[in-house]
Structure 1
Amino acid sequence: MQFKDIIGQEEIKQQLIQTVVENRVSHAQLFLSAEGTGALPLAIAYAQYINCLDRNPADSCGVCSSCRKYERYIHPDLHFSYPFFASKDVKIAVDVLDEWRLMLLNDPYVDLDIWRSRLSADNKQANINIAECHDIIKKLSYKAFEAETKVLIMWLPEYLEKEGNSLLKIIEEPPANTLFLLVANNQEHILSTLLSRTQIVKIPKLSDQTIEQYLIQHDRLSVEIASNYSFLADGNLIEAKSLSAQAHNDNAEIFAEWLRRGYGNRVPDLIAFVDQAAGWGRENQKNFLRYGINFLRECSLIISGAESLVKLPVRALETAQKLSKHVLDLNMASAIITELEQAHYHIERNANPKILFLDVSLQLVKIIKFKTFPKGTQYIYN
């Protein structure tokens, strides 16, 4: 993985390169970012750059023996740790290393859902267990085989529970020429003792323009569709790629029609929508709900008189303007967002989609037609 293969993040790339050029690479770093920003590929490219035998001022060479092994994730001094789903055959991360490498070779922009789909996870909980911590200590205690610097990249240290304290000594006093790169999404879920021993590198979200250009160039989408997807992705390239892969791409109009059916109390039409939504598949259902949440937030800006801040593409903007003028108010938008967020939470946990979308549809009727709001809604009075 070379820096040139990573989408955007030019400032962070230069910052990482400078730490190598100026010989001030911190031995324990935490790459902190939202999902889909490229933090994991950045960590891999950084490690490859550090160990490249013929690096240049802008990137690793990509052709030396070290780079060739890094490109296939088989360098003997590159180690990975990540959440996994323990079973009688899977005790530590290396037991599923082949699956991990295949996933990264396919696309290094990954999240836990993608990783789960590569494994026989069933309903098991992912974690980084004490056996994995002991294995990390063991393999980092060995001398480097080829490289000047041994590297451990730990993806999602949030899944380290109190067992992670067993790593504190080796992180604080590592063997010579050992580099720890932790890649995380949620700082609040990381052990405070671990945080205090790392240098935090904050990775910003990708801009809408960066994602839009990527979709236009790589997926050959039209400007309008790419703009729509980049808005929905909200800086998450994984999300943008998922949307691009879907044939279902008229979320704005479908979501607006769902609201209209709720406003009109058109129960037979709502039931027909429920049947349609139940057949989309879990990822499409999640994407639709996320779109609805973002769409309603943009509607709230229109209702509040801040239309200049709205980022919707032209067709979706026209739909949002009509709904904001004739159907919605701020209280309704807030209440519906709450319902959609709860629905998204339950879809992720394998709720029955038919029952779930029926329940949300009935809640829409109560909120829009009868102005009955669920408990916990933040009311806004004009």
Structure 2
Amino acid sequence: MRFQDIVGQTNTIGTLQYMVDANRLPHALLLLGPAGIGKRTLALALIQYLLCTNRSDGDSCGQCPSCLKTSKLIHPDVHFSFPVVGAGMTSDKFMPQWRQAIHENPYMDSNQWLQLIGAENKQGNINKDECQNIIRKLSLKTFEAPVKTLILWLPEYLGNEGNRLLKLIEEPPPQTHFILIAENSELILNTILSRCQLVKIPLLKDQDVVDGLSRWELGTNDKAWGIAHLANGNFNEAITIAGNKVSNDAGLLLDWLRKCYKGYGPDLVKWSESFATLGRENQKHFLLYGLHFMREFLIMLATGSSNARLQAEELSSAQNLAKVLNIDQVEQIVRLFNDCYQYVERNANPKILFLDASIQLHKTMKRWDV
């Protein structure tokens, strides 16, 4: 991955180039921002630039042995750590799938990755064995490059196991760099955050998304602008929309809301039991979509504008919902979705959780006291 291959993020690229050129790359760097905006591509391009033996014009050459190995994710001094599923499983055991996934879509999100490796009803994590593996690998001498690096994608999945890495992050071996890629700093141990230099990555501009879709040959200019508007700065979402890989989350949410509004008990029980079979990662992804929908719906209610970042069917449904929901009700639903997300993460029984949520939704939509 070269800097020139990245969609947008010009200012951040300049910051990373300066860090390397001025020999000021910190031993622990945290790239923080929403999903789908290119944090992982920035990390990959940064490492390739750092290890390149023939840099020019602020970018790696892409042709030296180091660049060729780094671009294929096989450089012996570049290590990766990411969420996996299964007791005692480590990132090393999923490297073939990781390389293929990054090659096909370097902007993929955590749910896409975990479903790819068969998460189903399991939650992803970065466990004790993975932390011990990181410590072991970074204690070794470099094989080829003058430095060794670790790209740790989503340290949020470390939980308290992150304590095992504190000393290593604070006092790493000479010429060792950590690149952490995160989306939610609130889920990361403060002791890890305090040991990292933070670089916040912004959402992509619509123009950047349009240019990226053109480069990826995923649509005409007019179509690309429509996709960019819906994607809201998330290039992974733009790729999904352009490829017509329509998520079922929209239909599932609207079906749920309709059933909750009617409040027919057997239907709510049947829906909750069916939804419980989807697996926790899919349930979390659905709730995140629900929060996105409600956020755009709330903007539509507050401003009276129909220019929400929703697809045509979603926008039509939002306009119908506006007849029965007010701003206070939407805020209650948002709090409910947030609570459900946290309970799913804590392994709550999904049948009970979502049946209870369905009843609360019914009361909210009918304006009963909840």
Give the TM-score normalised by the residue count of structure 1: 0.75
| Aligned 8 A contact 1:36 1:236 in 2 | yes
Aligned residue type for 2:153: W
1:146-295 alignment to 2 at 5 Å? 146-215=144-213, 218=216, 220-221=218-219, 226=224, 229-246=227-244, 248=246, 293-295=291-293
Structure 1 unmatched runs, 5+? 376-382
Deviation, 1:122, is: 4.6
Deviation, 1:53, is: 0.9
Aligned residue type for 1:136: I
Closer/same/farther in 2, CA of residues 130 and 248 from structure 1, 3 Å limit: closer
Deviation, 1:232, is: 4.6
Distance 1:4 1:121 in 2: 34
Closer/same/farther in 2, CA of residues 216 and 349 from structure 1, 3 Å limit: farther
1:80-91 alignment to 2 at 5 Å? 80-87=80-87, 91=89
1:30-41 alignment to 2 at 5 Å? 30-41=30-41
| Aligned 8 A contact 2:33 2:183 in 1 | yes
Deviation, 1:315, is: 8.8
Distance 1:351 1:130 in 2: 23
**C-alpha RMSD over aligned residues:** 4.4
Deviation, 1:104, is: 1.6
- Segment drifting more, 180-189 vs 218-227: 218-227
- Corresponding residue of 1:379: none
- Segment drifting more, 292-301 vs 14-23: 292-301
Distance 1:144 1:205 in 2: 35
| Aligned 8 A contact 1:227 1:313 in 2 | no
CA displacement, residues 187-223 of structure 1 (integer Å, 9 cap, x when unaligned): 1222222222211111112234433554466464467
Q: Please give the secondary structure, in 2, of the residue aligned with 1:29.
A: strand
| Aligned 8 A contact 2:122 2:281 in 1 | no
Aligned residue type for 1:73: L
Distance 1:217 1:354 in 2: 44
- Corresponding residue of 2:127: 129
**Residue of structure 1 aligned with 2:302, choices 301, 304, 323:** 304
- Corresponding residue of 2:136: 138
- Segment drifting more, 162-171 vs 146-155: 162-171
Deviation, 1:150, is: 0.9
Distance 2:235 2:42 in 1: 14
**Residue of structure 1 aligned with 2:111, choices 110, 113, 121:** 113
- Corresponding residue of 1:333: 330
- Corresponding residue of 2:367: 372
| Aligned 8 A contact 1:299 1:320 in 2 | yes
Q: Please give the secondary structure, in 1, of the residue aligned with 2:35.
A: coil
Distance 2:282 2:127 in 1: 32
Distance 2:89 2:318 in 1: 51
Distance 1:146 1:102 in 2: 24
Give the TM-score normalised by the residue count of structure 2: 0.77
CA displacement, residues 24-82 of structure 1 (integer Å, 9 cap, x when unaligned): 11111111122112111111110100111111133111111110001111111111122
Distance 1:193 1:101 in 2: 31
Distance 1:215 1:234 in 2: 14
- Corresponding residue of 1:14: 14
Closer/same/farther in 2, CA of residues 111 and 290 from structure 1, 3 Å limit: closer
Distance 1:293 1:128 in 2: 26
Q: Please give the secondary structure, in 2, of the residue aligned with 1:160.
A: helix
Aligned residue type for 1:15: T
Closer/same/farther in 2, CA of residues 129 and 223 from structure 1, 3 Å limit: same
- Segment drifting more, 281-290 vs 167-176: 281-290
Aligned pair 1:98/2:96, yes or no?
A: yes
Deviation, 1:12, is: 0.4
Q: Please give the secondary structure, in 2, of the residue aligned with 1:30.
A: strand
| Aligned 8 A contact 1:232 1:294 in 2 | no
- Segment drifting more, 219-228 vs 162-171: 219-228
- The structure having more radius of gyration, on CA atoms, is 1
Structure with the bigger RCO (C-alpha within 8 Å, sep 6+) is 2
Closer/same/farther in 2, CA of residues 336 and 209 from structure 1, 3 Å limit: farther
Q: Please give the secondary structure, in 2, of the residue aligned with 1:136.
A: helix
Deviation, 1:265, is: 9.1
CA displacement, residues 314-362 of structure 1 (integer Å, 9 cap, x when unaligned): 89768756754x4442234334545666777899999999999999888
Distance 1:155 1:47 in 2: 14
Aligned residue type for 1:372: R
- Segment drifting more, 333-342 vs 47-56: 333-342
- Corresponding residue of 1:46: 46
- Corresponding residue of 1:66: 66
Deviation, 1:103, is: 1.8
Q: Percent identity?
A: 43
Closer/same/farther in 2, CA of residues 177 and 40 from structure 1, 3 Å limit: same
Closer/same/farther in 2, CA of residues 215 and 339 from structure 1, 3 Å limit: farther
Deviation, 1:291, is: 5.8
- Corresponding residue of 1:378: none
- Corresponding residue of 1:57: 57
Aligned residue type for 2:48: Q
- Corresponding residue of 1:380: none
Deviation, 1:164, is: 2.8
- Corresponding residue of 1:29: 29
Q: How many residues align?
A: 370
Distance 2:240 2:291 in 1: 17
